[in-house]
Amino acid sequence: MKKVVLLGDSIRLIGYGPRVPEMLGEDYTVFQSEDNCRFVKYTLRCLFDWRDDIKDADIIHWNNGLWDTSTGLFDDGGKPFTGEEEYVENMLRVAKELLKITPNVIFATTTPVNPEYQYNSNTVIERYNAVLVPKLQAMGIRINDLHSLVAQNVPEYICEDMLHLSETGAKICAEQVARMIKEF
């Protein structure tokens, strides 16, 4: 039996995460925090709290990004919540910690939002994905490109709140997550 850990923000928590265990079947046990992993620095801090739950994992699938790329939260010219350099630095710190547990780490790219959503910019999301992905790949981390998957049909795959996955979006993302996990 393989132990899988799912870490991530609400795209995991209320999106693909609840569906993945059933899709994986009885040959896998799945741990996922009941907490929203929010932004990368929160996830980094929580790795300490979850250390007993995630030790001995065979495969870890993880995402962070929507909170970090949030813009327009404050009257500061639309700066992202987490600056690009800080985001990349902390994502690499998370990656290093996860690789200490298992070499089988998958990172899911940050999904797009409805272009009318006022607190995220797809341009910023795409830039952060583009800067981070090559660095993670160089570390041996596999990339689950949920961004490209969801971008194929944002009106269908993103729900009315313009940020989270719709039922259909959650289903297709869960299928892709489960498929990538089974590749190990």
- Alpha helices, H only, 32-161: 40-49, 51-54, 84-101, 122-138, 146-151, 154-157
- In this structure, how many other beta carbons lie within 10 angstroms of the beta carbon of residue 10? 17
pLDDT less than 70: residues of the chain: none
Instruction: Say what the pTM is.
Output: 0.97
Q: What is the CA radius of gyration of the chain?
A: 15
What local confidence, expressed as pLDDT, does residue 16 receive? 98
How many whole angstroms separate alpha carbon 158 and alpha carbon 154?
Answer: 5
Max CA distance (Å), the chain: 50
What local confidence, expressed as pLDDT, does residue 78 receive? 87
Give me the amino acid identity at 91: M
How many whole angstroms separate alpha carbon 72 and alpha carbon 117?
Answer: 10
What local confidence, expressed as pLDDT, does residue 132 receive? 98
Domains of the chain with bracketed CATH = 2-182 (3.40.50.1110)
What local confidence, expressed as pLDDT, does residue 72 receive? 82
Q: Order of strands across the sheet with 2-7?
A: 28-32, 2-7, 59-62, 105-108, 142-144
Q: What is the pLDDT of residues 130-149, one digit of tens each?
A: 999 999 999 999 999 999 99
How many whole angstroms separate alpha carbon 159 and alpha carbon 173?
Answer: 14
Torsions phi, psi for 138 (to 5 deg): -65, -25
